[in-house]
Amino acid sequence: MERKRHYHLELTDEQVVAMRRALPLAVAPHLEGLRDQIKGMVGEEDFFSLALSNLRAWYYGRVRGFAEDVLEAILRGEVRDLHDYICETIDGTDLVVYTNKTEAALLASDNEDAMEYETRKNGTPEERAYYALRADVVESLRAMVDHPDESLRDRLPDGFDLDDPATWTAREVRP
């Protein structure tokens, strides 16, 4: 099965219904001020696009936080198996436990089909959100390592490779 990247928005009716249910509970606090600011200024479709953008910003902020935590643990020498550590990090989080947040995560994720892609099965929203979140954390982690910011660049060992734990040994910090 070939995976498709979504660079423009194409939602199924099921996703739209799920978003309408999930948005009020998952991101309502973030949208209250926005809703007041744009009330009457844009149509329903524009508001929906803004809401989805806000949902994606919320979700990918959480993904980046998980990726940063995993990378910090790697640099502290706490990680032996990257896959297992990521699974332990995200297992039981609100994004894969609470139905409203799992549906919101699936709407926001570029990897909403990760479970089907990996297992050829279509599970519960919680199971699908787990696979999507895991794939998103891995992608975020790889992006952080491939294009490190200045503070991270100085902390990564020479030749650091996420796929090779032998390269994870942190070098001494320069004064």
Total-model pTM = 0.72
Please check the confidence at residue 170 and state whether its pLDDT lies above 80.
Answer: no
Assign 172 a pLDDT band (cuts: 50, 70, 90). very low
pLDDT tens digits, one per residue of 101-149? 999 999 999 999 999 999 999 899 999 999 999 999 999 999 999 999 8
Backbone angles phi, psi at 150, to 5 degrees: -60, -40
Predicted confidence at residue 159, as pLDDT, reads 86
Cβ-contact 51, 107 below 8 angstroms: no
